[in-house]
Structure 1
Amino acid sequence: MNATDGLAVRDLTVHYGPVRALGGVSLDVPPGAVVAVLGGNGAGKSTLLRAISGTLRFQRGGISAGEISFEGERLSGAAPAAVVARGVVQVPEGRRIFSRMTVEENLRAGALGARRGARPRMIPHGAAEARERVLALFPVLAERARQRAGLLSGGEQQMLAIGRALMARPRLLLLDEPTLGLAPLMAARIADTIKEINAQGTSVLLVEQNAALALSLASHAYVLEVGEVALHGPAAGLAESDEVRRRYLGIGAAEVAAGTPGERPALSRWSA
């Protein structure tokens, strides 16, 4: 991918004090793509998103090597507001909505950092258009507009968190565990919404604990282990890997062994 085409992460190393959280991570998100990041707890998934969004400093972390760019502009070391202004917006794990503010006030807050100027086709140009887009995706937010956000259900709060991010009219949306803690039906609704957001022209970098869901949404995926990329490739191919199936898709070792050898790709850095 040309560095000016989308998100490019190159040889990224991140430390929290003396502790290395990421080591030499490289990753691409082409325009219009959904790219998934898989990995266990502590693999560095959220750290990767924080590095891109410029929020590492809030956890006393920092980039010690490597580069991050979006559409040819350097993001490494940029302040969070500058990253948002360049069209990259994160929905953090745990939603982090303003619980004492109303739904409407949360949405207005999301529009404050929006970049001014031209937008790609199908991306709204102004706050009013962005609000219409959000309410079309999440009609329940219109019904709850005057309600305090903290009184919403967990699924509704996740909708609000995504909607607030969309108010900034991002060209790249960073989603950190958007279905965590949600009932299966609500998780499926969030997945459908991610598809629709992407279909409207917004690229997505998705960190998701539900690996099956993530791989079904993504065109390409990366697997992180102990802060390094253990594997990457087309999402459909990773879904057929024995190691990915066993570690992340809930397929037991006996079921994997029962398959026909050679049908699915093996991961060279993982032992069987």
Structure 2
Amino acid sequence: MGGSALVVRDLSVGYGPVRALRQVSLDVPEGAVVTVLGSNGAGKSTLLRAVSRTLSFHGGAVTGGTVSLDGRPLDRLPPDRVVAAGVSQVPEGRRVFARMTVADNLRAGALGAVGGRKERAAALHRVHDLFPVLAERAQQRAALLSGGEQQMLAVARALMAAPRLLLLDEPSLGLAPLMAARIAETVREINAQGTSVLLVEQNAALALRLASRAYVLEVGEVTLSGPAQELAASDEVRRRYLGVVDEDAAADASGARATHPMLSRWEG
């Protein structure tokens, strides 16, 4: 593994007067999977949009800090030039072109890519290897795919630009556990093929298994960071994001509840 592919330093973002990110810094080393954990509204999607330069589509703007890939600033580039520089994003919510065929969705993914017909053919071969179902359904409209297959298509479309860094926003959201596990396995495979990954994922257990390094975002600020294994073992992460309750504390709490009844909305 080389140096840092993606370097984010002191990044601040606002949506009008609302501050969404406050001096966020993170690194995605070359060839690594890095995950960002946090509750809804913590700023995770905003971070990915700031990297891919798609913030303006959502009414947001960078108010401070820098984003660079291999030392090259991405801060002033339009979104299509960010793709050409080697960064592809898979947005939350499986945004595929529903009325277009699977094949045309994949062609659309290659539009911003650097390279000619040979490179596009290699990228198509790669995604068909990763997702054989997309080869089988090439002439089917994307709307007819299952939710899991649409997520595969969204990832495959991003890979058609042959990115060096893949930004994944909630890839397992709304998927059945088996399909979520398949998507996770594919992320592992994509990474093994040499693509760095910045992963935003509500399923913290899944994310921490995939990643080598993790960051926790809370209300737009990084509050914890470190090796994924260390964060997975930390009491705070286990309690807040992995649903693991310390048994002694739980026993104390239930005892306290018995002696001091609490308002029902604070229970659990």
Tell me, in whole angstroms, the C-alpha distance in 2 between the residues paired with 1:29 and 1:194: 15
Equivalent residues in 2 for 1:95-174, closer than 5 Å: 95-116=94-115, 126-174=119-167
- Larger proportion of helix: 2
- Is contact 1:130–1:169 with CA below 8 Å preserved after alignment? yes
Deviation at 1:78, TM superposition (A): 1.6
**Where do 5+ consecutive residues of structure 2 fail to align?**
252-268
* Corresponding position of 1:189: 182
Tell me, in whole angstroms, the C-alpha distance in 2 between the residues paired with 1:256 and 1:170: 46
TM-score, normalization by structure 1: 0.89
Percent identical pairs in the alignment equals 71
**1:187-229 Cα distance to aligned partner (Å, 9 max, x none):** 0000000000000000000000000000000000000000000
Q: Structure 1 residues 255 and 192 mapped into 2: Cα distance closer, same or farther (>3 Å)?
A: farther
Q: Structure 1 residues 109 and 23 mapped into 2: Cα distance closer, same or farther (>3 Å)?
A: same
- Is contact 1:246–1:256 with CA below 8 Å preserved after alignment? no
Equivalent residues in 2 for 1:23-42, closer than 5 Å: 23-42=22-41
1:63 equivalent to 2:62? Answer yes
Equivalent residues in 2 for 1:55-94, closer than 5 Å: 55-94=54-93
Tell me, in whole angstroms, the C-alpha distance in 2 between the residues paired with 1:116 and 1:138: 22
Q: Structure 1 residues 29 and 255 mapped into 2: Cα distance closer, same or farther (>3 Å)?
A: farther
Tell me, in whole angstroms, the C-alpha distance in 2 between the residues paired with 1:253 and 1:236: 18
Equivalent residues in 2 for 1:254-265, closer than 5 Å: 254=247
Tell me, in whole angstroms, the C-alpha distance in 1 between the residues paired with 2:43 and 2:88: 19
Deviation at 1:257, TM superposition (A): 6.8
Deviation at 1:72, TM superposition (A): 1.1
Which stretch of structure 1 is more off in the superposition, 4-13 or 146-155? 4-13
Give the counterpart letter for 1:21 in structure 2. A
1:204 equivalent to 2:192? Answer no
**1:138-195 Cα distance to aligned partner (Å, 9 max, x none):** 0000111000001100000000000000000000000000000000000000000000
Tell me, in whole angstroms, the C-alpha distance in 2 between the residues paired with 1:167 and 1:28: 24
Give the counterpart letter for 2:64 in structure 1. A
How many residue pairs get matched? 251
- SS of corresponding position for 1:109: helix
**Where do 5+ consecutive residues of structure 1 fail to align?**
118-123, 259-272
Q: What CA RMSD, in Å, does the superposition of the two structures yield over aligned residues? A: 1.8
- Is contact 2:32–2:197 with CA below 8 Å preserved after alignment? yes
Tell me, in whole angstroms, the C-alpha distance in 2 between the residues paired with 1:155 and 1:255: 40
TM-score, normalization by structure 2: 0.90
Q: Structure 1 residues 110 and 11 mapped into 2: Cα distance closer, same or farther (>3 Å)?
A: same
